[in-house]
Amino acid sequence: MPTVMTPSAAVAAHRCKHCGGILLHADLRHRPVSFMDAALAHHLRRACCTPLLPAPPPTTASPTSTSPAAAPAADGAARWLDFEPPLAALLRAQQVEAALALLARGEGTHGLSLDAPLCGGATLLHLAARTDSVPLVDATYSAAAATRGSQDCVHRNTPGGRTPLHEAAAHGARQAAAALIARGGEALALALDWEGCTPAELARRHGDRALGGVLAEAAARAAGGASGGGGEAGEGEGEGEGALSEEELKVESQWRRAELKSRRRLALKIEGRESLRAAHILRQIWTVAECKWVLEQTLDAAAMEGWQACLSCPASLLHVSLRPPFASTASLPQAKRHENHSTFDIALWRAPAAFEFARTSLVSTIIPAMSRVFDIPLEKLVLREAFVIRYSPQTQASLGVHRDGTLLSCNILLNQPSDFEGGGTCFSWPIEVHASDGQTWRERGEWCTTADYEGSSGASGGGSGDKTHWAVHGRQGDCVIHCGQIPHGAGTVTKGVRFVLVAFVDELVMAEETPHERRSALRSRASSAVSTPADDAPPEWLLAPSAAEPPEEAASIPGASARRCISFGALDLPTVVAPERKLRYRDVSIKRLPQAPS
């Protein structure tokens, strides 16, 4: 069991509510766990200093809207990156000893229900299952079962349909898998995730054939007991098909990678999806007071971190734990600016309270609205990231036409339209814009489809034929939602500053074939293939479909491939640093938008 943070440990940040100090896992690398524990205790005891973070905003919101006051109650303790409690951060970093110590003390969760979904939808039990520590699985299980008063927690799925046993299998955590089965029974081995994979399947895919065999046997026994033989998991897992050879496993994993890639491409295709062609404005999603508060929080974070702050930037590591309280944020070191960035923004998780508020609002209101207007089942929509952009003539004045890396996007104007000139979310062709006022969608739950296109500021001169972009100008607190695959950008701000909060939302697409069907197809294709592929090269027929396609831009960007893969299947996002802004786009700066007409 490691006693120090390894370089591969998740980089996570923690901002103390009392002193505003930031404690990064990065700072704790190569230090003993006891150091982290001491750091935590120091802050949890409020030994650090006086409060720096401002109080929540005045609440003038309508009763049904989310407001910071409605956000999970502050518990006087620390909040971690993505609002996961310290216990989750420790589990993600495989810090078993420290996690057990926190659990034993009843600390580390800070009021969060032990089976509440964390970032990406996993629960603490999912995370504990990965560690392969039986005491940790048992402790987490007991705590979670006590919260729910039932054994439901072992069945709980992440959005990708993975149970804790799937997680254990995918991480080769044999002891944890056994502990989970002991608690929840062998029927757990029958569960299928959204890819149609049983835990046994995942174990084999991740190279643990022994665990795969054990789980397949458990599944076969459970299927036999449940249905008199041959349940779903029995197929392909039981005796009939036999275990895969090394070569078959290799081919299958190559196939899966190619399939994930093409599925992702497919998921971003919008041909024939009429509902995605219109943009929508949710009027007054946030009140003026809420917008001001979110902006203040963001500016506060930006004053400490700098815009475009990035954890790989050495300057951001200067904010270490156990630092004495600072009197003024002005004295803090600024994160170094990255040159050649196309945007000027800050990841919202750097302003934790604002992020918590925005995430609640996104999940409870905006994403359901997206589901309705774009006709996509709610359970398929996942929030990928949120950040605030600052546009001004002196820094970044506009954003070139691009497609986002996700299917859906939204943006909320945080300051007043009178604070700047120009701006607006611009589209390359005229699109229908539907607006709904707060009352309509809040109280009647209806989507009003009144066309309310607020303006089409085109290129200067000429008639409508000369227009080169069509701008939607929201008011402060309005949320513009649209398909991120429609070419769009941000109009030039010619005066003042425009602040928008942007969030990206993905639609999850399930595999059409079950692994069993896939394997049968692979085998029949392989047996009919004329030539034998070279040892280390995937068979030609396997690569042919994707090789014909142009390489995806993201593939050449460090860090981007991980993001691409997590769109499907394993949905529990690791606690990753928000990538640099330019990684968010598929087509970066196809062209700049023209200046707004004077």
Ligand X SMILES: O=C(O)CCC(=O)C(=O)O
Return residues touching ligand X (CB under 6 A).
389, 399, 404, 409, 411, 425, 488, 490, 500, 502
Q: Give whichever of 169 and 500 is closer to ligand X, judged by the CB atom.
A: 500
Least CB distance from residue 482 to ligand X, whole Å?
9
Q: In angstroms, rounded to a whole number, what is the distance separating the alpha carbons of residues 166 and 193?
A: 8
Residue in this structure with the two tokens 């998921």, named with its chain if needed: 267
Q: Give whichever of 110 and 488 is closer to Fe ion, judged by the CB atom.
A: 488
Residue 411 interface partner, choices Fe ion, ligand X, none, CB cut-off 5-8 Å depending on type: ligand X
Least CB distance from residue 255 to Fe ion, whole Å?
32
Q: In angstroms, rounded to a whole number, what is the distance separating the alpha carbons of residues 197 and 191?
A: 8
Query: What does the block give as tokens for 102?
Result: 């926190």
494 and 372 Cβ atoms separated by less than 8 Å = no
SS3 letters for 268-319?
CCCCCCHHHHCEEEECCCCCHHHHHHHHHHHHHHHHHHCCCCCCCCHHHHHC
Least CB distance from residue 278 to ligand X, whole Å?
16
Q: Give whichever of 396 and 514 is closer to ligand X, judged by the CB atom.
A: 396
Residue 19 interface partner, choices ligand X, Fe ion, none, CB cut-off 5-8 Å depending on type: none
CB atoms within 10 A of CB 527: 7
Residue nearest to Fe ion (CB): 404
Residue 500 interface partner, choices ligand X, Fe ion, none, CB cut-off 5-8 Å depending on type: ligand X
Residue 490 interface partner, choices ligand X, Fe ion, none, CB cut-off 5-8 Å depending on type: ligand X
Q: Give whichever of 71 and 583 is closer to ligand X, judged by the CB atom.
A: 583
Q: Note the residues at the interface with Fe ion (CB under 5 A).
A: 404
Query: What does the block give as tokens for 353?
Result: 């309270």
Q: In angstroms, rounded to a whole number, what is the distance separating the alpha carbons of residues 220 and 480?
A: 50
Q: Give whichever of 306 and 424 is closer to ligand X, judged by the CB atom.
A: 424
Q: Which helix (H) or strand (E) holds 390?
A: strand 381-391
Q: In angstroms, rounded to a whole number, what is the distance separating the alpha carbons of residues 116 and 156?
A: 10
Q: Give whichever of 27 and 404 is closer to Fe ion, judged by the CB atom.
A: 404
Least CB distance from residue 490 to Fe ion, whole Å?
8
Least CB distance from residue 451 to ligand X, whole Å?
20
Q: In angstroms, rounded to a whole number, what is the distance separating the alpha carbons of residues 435 and 356?
A: 26
DSSP state of 366: I
Least CB distance from residue 399 to Fe ion, whole Å?
7
* 363: three-class secondary structure by DSSP: helix
Residue 425 interface partner, choices Fe ion, ligand X, none, CB cut-off 5-8 Å depending on type: ligand X
C-alpha closest to that of 144 among 201, 183, 193, 199: 183
DSSP state of 29: B
Q: Give whichever of 488 and 518 is closer to Fe ion, judged by the CB atom.
A: 488
As a whole number of Å, the CA-based R_g of the chain is: 25
Residue 94 interface partner, choices Fe ion, ligand X, none, CB cut-off 5-8 Å depending on type: none
Query: What does the block give as tokens for 182?
Result: 């002991």
Q: In angstroms, rounded to a whole number, what is the distance separating the alpha carbons of residues 107 and 77?
A: 10
Name the amino acid, one letter, at 544. Answer: A
Residue 171 interface partner, choices ligand X, Fe ion, none, CB cut-off 5-8 Å depending on type: none
198 and 230 Cβ atoms separated by less than 8 Å = no
Residue 457 interface partner, choices ligand X, Fe ion, none, CB cut-off 5-8 Å depending on type: none
Least CB distance from residue 246 to Fe ion, whole Å?
44
Name the amino acid, one letter, at 475. Answer: R
Q: Give whichever of 186 and 404 is closer to ligand X, judged by the CB atom.
A: 404
Residue 97 interface partner, choices ligand X, Fe ion, none, CB cut-off 5-8 Å depending on type: none
Least CB distance from residue 347 to ligand X, whole Å?
12
Q: Give whichever of 66 and 425 is closer to ligand X, judged by the CB atom.
A: 425
Least CB distance from residue 165 to Fe ion, whole Å?
38
